Amino acid sequence: MLIRNLGEDKKERLRKSMLLFMQRGQYQEGFGCIEHLYDDDRAESYGYVKAFRNAMKTVISKGGDDAAACYELLHQSYILTARDKFDDFMIALEWYRPDEDKFWLPRRKQLQFIADILQEFIDGDLDELFLSMPPRVGKSSLVMFFLIWYSCKYPNRANLYSSFTEMVVKTYYNGILEVLNDPETYDLRAIFPEFVLAKTDAKDLLIDIGRKKKYSSMTCRSIMGTLNGACDCDGLLIADDLHSGKDEARNKDLMMSKWGTVKSNLLSRAKSGCKILWIGTHWSLLDCISNRLDMLMNSPDCAGIKFKEVNVPALNADDESNFDYLFGKGFTTQDYKVIRASYEMSDDMAMWYAPYMGTPIEQEGAVFCPSDLRYYNGVLPAGVDPDRVFMVVDPAWGGGDYVAAPIVMQYDTDLFIVDVVYNNGDKRLTQPLLARKIEEWGVSAVYVEATRVTSGYAEGLQDKLKEDGYRCNVQCTTKHWAGSTGKQQRIFDKAPDIRASMVFLNTGERSKEYQMFMQNLFSFTMEGKNKHDDAPDSLAMVIVNVFYGSAKMQIRARTF
């Protein structure tokens, strides 16, 4: 029998007893102390639970007579906390499944931080959470398990799940029932021994837990289905992939019509205190996620609503897969590169950026399409030296912005982009990297974009080259933009020269940084905001330098 409301003296005796039992190898008794401590103060005692698990894993790894008993105690430790911790729930729920058949274990390394965010969503003061991930990486399944956990934890709350078609919603409903009705696969009743499946309704897609209610524990309904009167949602409202795909995303009228339906049919079902979870592809600047985010960020009436946006792209900043799961269940880096290459070859990079990288990109606003550019196979013109070899640097100080620095070999009006630096590290990383590239390619002149703060960056680069014994003319271009036009428009103005004069490496010849530079170029759009425009900005600087002239300030050696 657990002791509730322990005094400090009793808790301290329990802690000491727990440590003594663990030292003696009396693990069952030690776990009994942890059960009492956890029941009294779950937040304070969770650290003891994690320490106990580590101890059990150590014993199990060594084998011996205690291994089997410790394995079961490890299981019990997850059951103990599974009601409160979603990650622990996922582990305990599938405990008896073979590892290769489990949903969570193969994906846990990559998705645990998502589980932690979902935990924060429930435990904290967030009102809305936006989660964008690529297709077929398990986001909807993870949220399904999350809804089951939440509904069992709070059986008297009404929750609503909605998606774009009845077929998707029906599949989701069946997936929930599979977990609830299969105790051999999912150990739900060990976690929630009071669990009762009170009602299911395959016609209206309703599930009641604990008892039958006017508004069911879980209602599954398509966005175009009947929602009025079906659910007053005071728990979780889940909006999952409200748009059907690219054809809808490219039709502004359909997008705005869908947003109107979401406002009138779906969001109107949320009662005060309901938490709203948006998941799916961030298709367009006009999709439901974008419209809702725009309202939360810009409407004074939404100032009190706390929200968080999480986007996990297919490839990370190092151009490597974020979803390479165990047992081949995810996507390798090569898998994603093949997908990306197929869209690049078909001039449809919007279909790479939106579903896979979580970047809304309006098809008509894309300035640089792969088929519009010139390419070469890495072999420069034979029998002739370049007119000059130079580098242009769009500097950054880290913090998410990228240093973008194309290295240019100029042959008359043809500008071969032979290499690039594209890196978001701070100057301690990027200045030596630039210096190495300058020396490797025999660059004779470097033009650094000048602002109030970047002259120091240019001086640091010059000092590094001097330290290496390499002579190079490093200059700050004080005004590589003429006039007062916005940067986005100015890049657009130089785009024809970029397409006509620049020659880029073929896809198979590019380094990882070069490939990332090109992806940044292709993602530049005139519709909406560009998160990063460093690559096109640096290329526009090249065009200004070659064809339009540039005021310069030379960095010379200090005289003091």
Task: Tell me the domain boundaries of the chain.
Answer: 8-81, 105-320, 370-554
Structure tokens of 19? 């440590």
Among residues 374, 373, 315, 310, which one has the least CA distance to residue 339? 315
**Residue 558: per-residue pLDDT:** 35
pLDDT in tens, 107-128: 999 999 999 999 999 999 999 9
CB of 272 within 8 A of CB of 235?
no
Q: Which fold has domain 370-554?
A: Nucleotidyltransferase; domain 5 (3.30.420)
Give dist(CA 228, CA 148) in Å, integer.
23
pLDDT digits (tens, 9 = 90+) for 65-119: 899 999 999 999 999 999 999 999 999 999 999 999 999 999 999 999 999 999 9
Low-confidence ranges of the chain (pLDDT < 70): 1-7, 361-365, 398-399, 452-454, 478-486, 527-530, 549-560
Q: Quick one: which H or E segment has residue 275? A: strand 275-279
Q: How far is it, in rounded angstroms, from Cα 22 to Cα 14?
A: 12
pTM of the model: 0.76
- DSSP three-state, residue 225: coil
> Starting from the edge strand earliest in sequence, which strands make up the sheet with 374-376, in order?
374-376, 502-505, 414-423, 403-411, 388-393, 445-449, 473-477, 552-554
For residue 311, which phi and psi values (nearest 5 degrees)?
Answer: -120, 120
* Residue pLDDT, tens place only, 22-79: 999 999 999 999 999 999 899 999 999 999 999 999 999 999 889 999 999 999 999 9
Query: What pLDDT does residue 3 have?
Result: 46
Query: 105-320: which CATH topology?
Result: Rossmann fold (3.40.50)
Q: Which pLDDT value is given to residue 284?
A: 81
Q: At what angle do helices 8-24 and 42-62 cross, to 10 degrees?
A: 0
Angle at the Cα of 448 from the Cα atoms of 445 and 452, rounded to 5 degrees: 150
The DSSP secondary-structure symbol of 525 reads B
* pLDDT score, position 551: 41
- How far is the CA of 260 from the CAs of 206, 223, 294, in angstroms? 25, 11, 15
pLDDT of 449 reads 87
At position 378, the amino acid (one-letter code) is G
